[in-house]
Amino acid sequence: MQAFPDGGVRLAVAPVAGLGRLALYEPRRRTVTVAAEATRMAPGNLAPLLAHEATHVQDLVSGRQAAEVPALGRVEACYVEELRASLIELEIWRTLHPPDGKPIPEYDYEDWLNVELAAYQRNPDTYPEDVREWYAEYPVPASHPRSSYLSIPYAHERCGGLLQYSLPGPLRVWPGPIAAHLVVLMTIIIVACSANGP
């Protein structure tokens, strides 16, 4: 979570869920925006979502993204970055709800995390192809076996398309105490994950 202050990134709330996403990182605006609907979830449920976005921030701040784009090409670098962020997100979720996710999910996002964690645990070697598929084919065809889950949190970019974002409505910046609480929570979770290994 040190990535947020290192990148000068602020947390904001906006009605982005109407665009099919729960959160997104906008490097030019130095903002991670969380859907207002997502803020109704418990902070522990926001932790994986923020960890995903923090991974993108860290990739930019550390120079990793700048190195991967020329080395791999823009599209392949995008897939690699999304896989890295998705695996961090799943690891946080598994740490919060061992070993298989939350037994009784209350929100679509929790259900999605459970489904994706199960897919990863079933076959970690093929999971990168799942990630590639969701980013390459968004919107996900209804015939896809996990179509009801894939479009929920990660409509924020197509690796094969333009990486442009637009937000409806005004942004509301999260008050400092809430943002600070989330940063502390994420730091504790990341330290716990690091101590336990992947």
Render pLDDT for 80-127 as a digit per residue (tens, 0 to 9).
Answer: 998 999 999 999 999 999 999 999 999 888 999 999 999 999 999 999
Render pLDDT for 52-61 as a digit per residue (tens, 0 to 9).
Answer: 999 999 999 9
Question: In degrees rounded to 5, what are phi and psi of residue 141?
Answer: -60, 145
Render pLDDT for 59-87 as a digit per residue (tens, 0 to 9).
Answer: 999 999 999 989 998 888 888 998 999 99
Alpha-carbon gap, residue 92 to 123, rounded angstroms: 18
Q: Which residues have a Cβ under 8 Å from the Cβ of 189 and sit 6 or more positions away?
A: 47, 51, 92, 95, 96
Number of other CB atoms surrounding residue 59 within 10 Å: 23
Q: Which residues have a Cβ under 8 Å from the Cβ of 55 and sit 6 or more positions away?
A: 3, 81, 84, 85, 88, 89
Q: Which residues have a Cβ under 8 Å from the Cβ of 99 and sit 6 or more positions away?
A: none
